[in-house]
Structure 1
Amino acid sequence: MAVLPIVEYEDKIAETVEENPVVVIIGETGSGKSTQLSQILDRRGYTRSGMIAVTQPRRVAAVSVSRRVAMELGVQLGEEVGYAIRFEDRTSNKTRIKYLTDGCLLRESLSNPELKQYSVIILDEAHERSLNTDILLGLMKRLVKLRSSNLKVLITSATLDGVKVSRFFSGCPILNVPGTLFPVEKFYSTERPTSYLESSLKTALDIHVREPPGDILIFMTGQDDIGKMVSKLEERIQKLEEGSCMDALVLPLHGSLPPEMQVRVFSPAPPNCRRFIVATNIAETSLTVDGVVYVIDSGYVKQRQYNPSTGMYSLDVVQISRVQADQRAGRAGRTRPGKCYRLYPSTVYHEEFLDATIPEIQRSSLAGSVLYLKSLDLPDIDILEFELLDPPSRESLEDALRQLYLIDAIDESGMITDFGRTMAELPLEPSLSRTLIEANELGCLSQALTIAAMLSSEATLRSNQSKGNAKKRKQPSELPDGSGWGDHIQLLQVYEAWDLVDYDPKWCTDNDLQVRSMMFAKDVRKQLSQIIQKIAKGPVDVESSLRQRRSDKDYRNLRRALCRGYGNQLAERMLHHNGYKTLGYRSQLVQVHPSSVLESDEYGHLPDYVVYHELINVSRPFMRNVCSVEMAWVMPILKKLEKMDINKLRGGSYDPNETKLEENEANHNNKQPDETTKRPSSDDVDSKIQAARERYLARKAKK
């Protein structure tokens, strides 16, 4: 195996790390930073006083890189070299080098805030600026002050703005390590194609027919596009004249693939065979696929973006940044000179692309991150002033505080509650963590664990998405319908129906369910049960019979727990709007997703209140995974809103008199509203809702 460039810099790296608590290493693509840096420090004796942790933004990368390092050291994966990702830990008491997702390291710091089990923490691929990596950067700045004598922190990347990070860490040194990139010839389109999928397909086939051997890496925006591209490529390749070109193997690569399919892309192509690897941006930096000579770059990426003013996510296909474009091109020059086909004009690259990707912390809901910071119980942390490399907007932080307050994770003074501490220990989003706690109080924890596992595995009930397909199946194989209460109840019923057939994969196939997602849900449920039992203060029931007949009372308790957990994710039926499956949320109309099994009444009205798991804007705003809740459960949450003070929720030290002074000035400068324009009180709203209900019941009685 060729010596990687970073090994030639071993002495310089070791010397710099020895003399400084924090070092930034800019290792160009192909330098070997992800696999070799941990081994260098292991050889230099740093593992004698603790493990070396290497964080990765993606689970796939944490697994694949650890596997590579274990192979290079000739050790069993999970022994001296291991990895930890959400719901999976392959380490032992022998582990010296541990690859883990940035989220896993954050969770570990809850039980050990000083992370004393580690002598070195390496934040790899920091240029991706994942939400958790940015939080870790802020925490590392605090931690090196506490452990300056026995902790080393390294921030590594191929394209990170090293000067900016160095400034953040008080001028720490920057080391630059060259890569082994061969020259890459770049070809630009004369104009944007009308369909990047079709253009990618044509380009890939042209390369296959005309160019010498070498694998082709095609960047698509998401799993759906990858599936379409794989199918079309296989179809077109089969139609090529026999003997006109070499054999071909088409492989998908994205984060949702099972591990055994992900591993296939790291195996070399068979003799006289070209591989087509169709991937998301996961292949930009985290994973190195040997053998790639040609890259096709569509110029797009699919990105989730959160709007704190609406509480809504949008899943948008957006242009990549120049950093991403350069990373993609670099994949073609790892083993020999390569070619990159950019399906956009050079003017787009130079004039329209951003310099770098917008950090995830500036386009995500921050409820989980803020809960984590609150759980550290550091009295000097002011959430609105916490030092970050690129701070999010104040609106995003206030939105997170509001969410946590409404689900009882923090009290009205901003202090973390006992509920909040328990929630922070669970590897779930806050709404699901709170649901589990409430379900335990109401005696339905076992059922709530099933729902949390199904939502965490993103199990897709495909039959809901196409009612036509459902009609073609025989009646016995129809999926449960949620008893009219909604999608969370249906997820429970589907899992319990699967349990009745002893988790038979064929049952999933017959009902058009993804076997892998259902199996993953089963594993997640088991691990969540184990975590709950560890952190619970008293006995908990995590394994009550899945096969017992459910009563309306069971479902009522479960829906009540969901209401408490999703306290910030409430929607009400608009009294002035009679549209089918349309609800009011933050003074706007939002439709329930067509796949929902939530039932409306005979007039087409939905329940007065529902909770939802996700609010997302695709072709229009939709609520996904919706469940009916009762007015009595909602009212305490609405009353909490009335006494909420964001300035108190932020924590740290602030001057309330200064806030009052600002408010007084604002009131003095603005004309007082007329009585008729004042916002109605909760009593007014209650009376209107009650009146509407009475009118509806009266109409129903006449029928």
Structure 2
Amino acid sequence: MAELPILQFEEKIIETVERNSVVVIIGETGSGKSTQLSQILHRRGYTNSGVVGVTQPRRVAAVSVARRVSQELNVRLGEEVGYAIRFEDRTSERTRIKYLTDGVLLRESLSNPELDQYSVIILDEAHERSLNTDILLGLMKRLVKRRASNLKVLITSATLDGDKVSQFFSNCPVLNVPGKLYPVEILYSNERPKSYLESSLKTALDIHIKEPKGDVLIFMTGQDDIEKLVSKLEDRVRSLEEGSVLDAIILPLHGSLQPEMQVRVFSPPPPNCRRFIVATNIAETSLTVDGVVYVIDSGYVKQRQYNPSTGMYSLEVVQISKVQANQRAGRAGRTRPGKCYRLYPSVAYHEELLDATIPEIQRSSLAGSVLYLKSLDLPDIDILTFDFLDSPSSESLQDALKQLYLIDAIDENGLITRVGKTMAELPLEPSLSRTLMEANECGCLSQALTVAAMLSAETTLLPGRSKSTEKKRKHDHLDLPDGSGWGDHIQLLQIYECWHQTHYDIDWCKDRGLQVRGMTFVKDVRKQLCQIMQKIAKGSLDVQTSRRGKQTQQDYNNLRKALCVGYANQLAERMVFHNGYRTLGFKPQVVQVHPSSVLKPDDEGKFPNYVVYQELIATSRPYLRTVCAVNVAWVTPILNKVNKLNINKLSGGSGHIEEHAEGNISDLPKKDAVTAVPDDQESKIQAARERFLARKGKK
């Protein structure tokens, strides 16, 4: 293997690092920055005074790069070289090079704000602009001032606005390391295809039939598209005349793939065999698949967008940016000259694609990040004026503050509460963290731990509950619990309890179409959450590790109450004239329960008056997904809190909110506003209701 370009700059890198607390390193694709920079620092003695920590935005990247570095140093993974991701820590006291997700480093800083176990912190793949990386950039700016003598911070990226980051860090030096080992020919389509999946299939087959040997990396938008293309490719390759082409292996690569399947992507193929790797944008950076000569770029990526004014997520397929397009092309030139087939015309690249990807911090819910910043308990931090590289909108920050106030993480003056501090220590989203805290008070922590673990699964557990489809799930033949009429959270608890009663029999999962790897992951997560809760409470929590064979009605009621408190900001009220809901903070707008939910209307066709939900998504229409019925008595305190909400106090600052945002803020519509349904719509609803009741009467 040829020497990686970054090694030629070792002396320059070390010289610059020794003279400066912060250094930006722009290492193009193929430069070796992710694997070699930590080793350079290790060789030069930086691990003698502490750990070299390298953050990655993605779990798969943290694991695979750590594995690669341990192999190159000929040490066992988890000893001198290790990794830490959510719910998995493969490090030891001997670890000197540690790869970890940016989220894990944030949580570490809660218990150790100085991060004094690290001599060097490398924020890798900063161009991806993940939410946690952007928070870390702001914190590193503060930390280097306090630890200037014994901490080095390196920000590394393939394609990043180095000057912008340099200015953010008081004009720190920027080093540029060339990357591509071989030239890559860019081939554009004459026009946009009607189906990028079919176009990818045709291009892949053309390469396989006409081009010399070399692996093919195909960028698709998500797991569903990947599975479809893998299936179609397997069928078409199988139908080719034997001996007319190379043998072929078709491999998927995405974040939900089980580890043993991920590893296959990094293993060399058999002789005279071409690999097709069908991947999400996870393969754009960090994950380098040796042997790739051809890249097929669909030009799209699946991206989650959060709208703070509605509290709604949408999962949209959008065009990639020029940065992403260049990253994808760079994957083809690692081992020899390569080709990148862009399934869009040249004019689209130059005129339609954004120069850079919109930072995640500007398209995400910030409740978790704001909770983290509040939990640092630093008097000079005003959430609305925190020093971000690219600031999120004031509306997003206000939305996060409202969420945290409603679930008791901060008080009416914006100060973090005891409950909020404990929530921040849990590796969960704030709503689930708060649910566990309340469940401990209600005597249903065991049940809540199960639900939290089920909702934390990395993959879709239940058959037919794909996030990319709205087709109604068929329950009849699956022999799964039905949630006892209370909804999806209760069903998740019941499913796990049934599995527990079989002593975690894998065949029981298979027979019911449950995702075996996901269920096993849930079991491990539940155990870890139990240990974390015990540790937080210093052993004072009465955490049940053994559960009764059958849940009682009281268990369900206690759990639903805990969910109501935890999901106070995700509360929905049934609108008077039909079975749509309005949500807390919504204008009078109808949302509906997702068809995949087990929550069903009663004999009169009515849904419960109040529900809490896991997620509000916009697909063909606004849907509440993963819902649970709650009682009005539990809801009243939440509505009272809404009426006392004052954003100016919650932010921790004063005088900087515009007048229209000051005072008591409540986006919850008044009762009379909700009932103002147009007459024609009301009559249609009434007619539909009568038809429903008529059908019920015939049964």
- TM-score, normalised by the number of residues in structure 2: 0.93
1:405 aligns with 2:405: yes
Post-superposition CA distance 1:26-50 (Å, at most 9, x none): 0111111101111111111111111
Q: Which residue of 2 aligns with 1:14?
A: 14
- What does 1:177-196 correspond to in 2, within 5 Å? 177-196=177-196
Question: 2:51, 2:119 within 8 Å by CA — same for their partners in 1?
Answer: yes
Query: SS at 2:250's partner residue?
Result: strand
- Structure 1 residues 582, 401: closer, same or farther in 2, change over 3 A? closer
Query: SS at 2:591's partner residue?
Result: strand
Q: Which residue of 2 aligns with 1:549?
A: 550
Q: Which residue of 2 aligns with 1:111?
A: 111
Question: For residues 297 and 303 of structure 2, what CA distance do their matches in structure 1 show?
Answer: 16
Q: Which residue of 2 aligns with 1:611?
A: 612
Question: For residues 401 and 574 of structure 1, what CA distance do their matches in structure 2 show?
Answer: 26
Q: Which residue of 2 aligns with 1:349?
A: 349
- Structure 1 residues 537, 412: closer, same or farther in 2, change over 3 A? farther
1:637 aligns with 2:643: no
Question: 1:578, 1:604 within 8 Å by CA — same for their partners in 2?
Answer: no
1:531 aligns with 2:552: no
- Structure 1 residues 80, 182: closer, same or farther in 2, change over 3 A? same
Q: Which residue of 1 aligns with 2:433?
A: 433
- What does 1:527-676 correspond to in 2, within 5 Å? 527-537=528-538, 539-575=540-576, 577-579=577-579, 582=581, 586=586, 587-651=588-652, 653-655=653-655, 662=659
Question: For residues 166 and 545 of structure 1, what CA distance do their matches in structure 2 show?
Answer: 54
Q: Which residue of 1 aligns with 2:686?
A: none
Question: For residues 331 and 662 of structure 2, what CA distance do their matches in structure 1 show?
Answer: 58
- What does 1:497-536 correspond to in 2, within 5 Å? 497-536=498-537
- Structure 1 residues 237, 681: closer, same or farther in 2, change over 3 A? closer
Post-superposition CA distance 1:71-115 (Å, at most 9, x none): 111100000000000000000000000000000000000000010
- Structure 1 residues 684, 159: closer, same or farther in 2, change over 3 A? closer
Letter in 1 for 2:211: E
Give the superposed CA RMSD: 2.2
Q: Which residue of 2 aligns with 1:40?
A: 40
- Structure 1 residues 291, 607: closer, same or farther in 2, change over 3 A? same
Deviation at 1:663, TM superposition (A): 6.5
1:231 aligns with 2:225: no
- Structure 1 residues 73, 310: closer, same or farther in 2, change over 3 A? same
Letter in 2 for 1:530: Q
Question: For residues 112 and 680 of structure 1, what CA distance do their matches in structure 2 show?
Answer: 43
Q: Which residue of 2 aligns with 1:261?
A: 261
Question: 2:647, 2:662 within 8 Å by CA — same for their partners in 1?
Answer: no
Deviation at 1:163, TM superposition (A): 0.4
Q: Which residue of 2 aligns with 1:79?
A: 79
Q: Which residue of 2 aligns with 1:693?
A: none
- Structure 1 residues 295, 45: closer, same or farther in 2, change over 3 A? same
- What does 1:396-475 correspond to in 2, within 5 Å? 396-457=396-457, 458-462=459-463, 470-471=475-476, 473=477
Deviation at 1:5, TM superposition (A): 1.2
Q: Which residue of 2 aligns with 1:674?
A: none
Deviation at 1:541, TM superposition (A): 3.0
Query: SS at 2:413's partner residue?
Result: coil
Question: For residues 78 and 119 of structure 1, what CA distance do their matches in structure 2 show?
Answer: 19
Question: 1:181, 1:330 within 8 Å by CA — same for their partners in 2?
Answer: no
Deviation at 1:194, TM superposition (A): 0.5
Query: SS at 2:69's partner residue?
Result: helix
Question: For residues 538 and 223 of structure 2, what CA distance do their matches in structure 1 show?
Answer: 41
Letter in 2 for 1:432: L
Q: Which residue of 1 aligns with 2:101?
A: 101
Question: 1:215, 1:292 within 8 Å by CA — same for their partners in 2?
Answer: yes
Letter in 1 for 2:500: D
Q: Which residue of 1 aligns with 2:200?
A: 200
Question: For residues 464 and 72 of structure 1, what CA distance do their matches in structure 2 show?
Answer: 42
Q: Which residue of 2 aligns with 1:485?
A: 486
Moved more, 546-555 or 385-394: 546-555
1:169 aligns with 2:145: no
Question: 1:463, 1:470 within 8 Å by CA — same for their partners in 2?
Answer: no
Question: For residues 495 and 149 of structure 2, what CA distance do their matches in structure 1 show?
Answer: 54
Question: For residues 683 and 284 of structure 1, what CA distance do their matches in structure 2 show?
Answer: 52
Letter in 2 for 1:452: A
Question: 1:375, 1:416 within 8 Å by CA — same for their partners in 2?
Answer: yes
Query: SS at 2:409's partner residue?
Result: coil
Query: SS at 1:462's partner residue?
Result: coil
- Structure 1 residues 682, 211: closer, same or farther in 2, change over 3 A? closer
Question: 2:253, 2:262 within 8 Å by CA — same for their partners in 1?
Answer: yes
Post-superposition CA distance 1:595-654 (Å, at most 9, x none): 111121222111111000011112211111000000110110110111111000001x42
Deviation at 1:433, TM superposition (A): 0.1
Letter in 1 for 2:334: R
Question: For residues 313 and 35 of structure 2, what CA distance do their matches in structure 1 show?
Answer: 35
Query: SS at 1:274's partner residue?
Result: strand
Question: 1:216, 1:294 within 8 Å by CA — same for their partners in 2?
Answer: yes
Question: 1:56, 1:62 within 8 Å by CA — same for their partners in 2?
Answer: yes
Q: Which residue of 1 aligns with 2:683?
A: none
Question: 1:315, 1:618 within 8 Å by CA — same for their partners in 2?
Answer: yes
Deviation at 1:543, TM superposition (A): 2.7
Post-superposition CA distance 1:359-393 (Å, at most 9, x none): 00000000000000000000000000001000000
Letter in 2 for 1:562: L
Q: Which residue of 1 aligns with 2:681?
A: none
Question: 1:446, 1:541 within 8 Å by CA — same for their partners in 2?
Answer: no
Question: For residues 11 and 662 of structure 2, what CA distance do their matches in structure 1 show?
Answer: 62
Question: 1:24, 1:166 within 8 Å by CA — same for their partners in 2?
Answer: yes
- Structure 1 residues 181, 369: closer, same or farther in 2, change over 3 A? same
In the alignment, structure 1 segments of 5+ residues that lack a partner are 668-677, 687-695
- Structure 1 residues 380, 66: closer, same or farther in 2, change over 3 A? same
- Structure 1 residues 679, 30: closer, same or farther in 2, change over 3 A? closer
Post-superposition CA distance 1:293-327 (Å, at most 9, x none): 00000000000000000000000000000010011
Question: For residues 668 and 331 of structure 2, what CA distance do their matches in structure 1 show?
Answer: 58
Deviation at 1:680, TM superposition (A): 8.3
Q: Which residue of 2 aligns with 1:5?
A: 5
How many residues in Structure 1 have an aligned counterpart in Structure 2? 669
- Structure 1 residues 20, 324: closer, same or farther in 2, change over 3 A? same
1:383 aligns with 2:383: yes
1:218 aligns with 2:199: no
Question: For residues 229 and 582 of structure 1, what CA distance do their matches in structure 2 show?
Answer: 38
Question: 2:647, 2:663 within 8 Å by CA — same for their partners in 1?
Answer: no
Query: SS at 2:568's partner residue?
Result: coil
Question: For residues 465 and 13 of structure 2, what CA distance do their matches in structure 1 show?
Answer: 56
- Structure 1 residues 524, 351: closer, same or farther in 2, change over 3 A? same
Deviation at 1:354, TM superposition (A): 0.1
Question: For residues 296 and 263 of structure 1, what CA distance do their matches in structure 2 show?
Answer: 22
Question: For residues 660 and 328 of structure 2, what CA distance do their matches in structure 1 show?
Answer: 51
Q: Alignment identity in percent?
A: 74
1:322 aligns with 2:312: no
- Structure 1 residues 439, 158: closer, same or farther in 2, change over 3 A? same
Question: For residues 514 and 397 of structure 1, what CA distance do their matches in structure 2 show?
Answer: 36
Question: For residues 139 and 659 of structure 1, what CA distance do their matches in structure 2 show?
Answer: 24
Question: For residues 541 and 195 of structure 1, what CA distance do their matches in structure 2 show?
Answer: 55
Moved more, 375-384 or 583-592: 583-592
Query: SS at 1:9's partner residue?
Result: helix
Post-superposition CA distance 1:137-181 (Å, at most 9, x none): 000000000000100000000101000000100100000111143
- What does 1:367-378 correspond to in 2, within 5 Å? 367-378=367-378
Letter in 2 for 1:619: S
1:120 aligns with 2:117: no
Query: SS at 2:318's partner residue?
Result: strand
- Structure 1 residues 74, 584: closer, same or farther in 2, change over 3 A? closer
Letter in 1 for 2:511: D
Letter in 1 for 2:96: R
Letter in 2 for 1:308: P
- Structure 1 residues 30, 232: closer, same or farther in 2, change over 3 A? same
Letter in 2 for 1:491: L
Question: For residues 679 and 213 of structure 1, what CA distance do their matches in structure 2 show?
Answer: 62
- Structure 1 residues 15, 481: closer, same or farther in 2, change over 3 A? same
- Structure 1 residues 316, 684: closer, same or farther in 2, change over 3 A? closer
Letter in 1 for 2:177: V
Question: For residues 631 and 468 of structure 1, what CA distance do their matches in structure 2 show?
Answer: 29
Question: For residues 612 and 659 of structure 1, what CA distance do their matches in structure 2 show?
Answer: 30
